[in-house]
Amino acid sequence: MSNDKKPDFSDVQSGVQSTEQIKPDFSDVQSKVTSTEAIAESDGGEQTYTVAKGDNLSKIAKHFYGKQDWKRIFDANRDQLSDPDRIQPGQVLKIPAPEGEA
């Protein structure tokens, strides 16, 4: 028994739609770039420094004073530091003016 009747697809409809959404408009976006090593002058000649990974107080003092006078930075930041060996990346430390410049 053979069925010679072919399927009828005359009422089948098709369509295509994109999954891509309308592209957003970024024409009014503003940007700002700040350094992770922020050095800012404040009143009295005091600066700030944002601690980076791998920093220690001696290294920071050498950068600002030319010598490893870390105790000066530690004393200025006693409000947030209890141990000079436990500074964390992202902390913003006050850097007092070098001796004789205050």
Domain spans of the chain, in order of start: 40-95
2-22 tens-digit pLDDT: 667 888 888 888 888 777 777
19-42 tens-digit pLDDT: 777 777 778 887 776 665 545 444
User: In the block, which residue shows the tokens 């409809």?
Assistant: 13
Query: What is the architecture, at CATH level 2, of domain 40-95?
Result: Roll (3.10)
Mean pLDDT of the chain: 82
pTM passes above 0.95: no
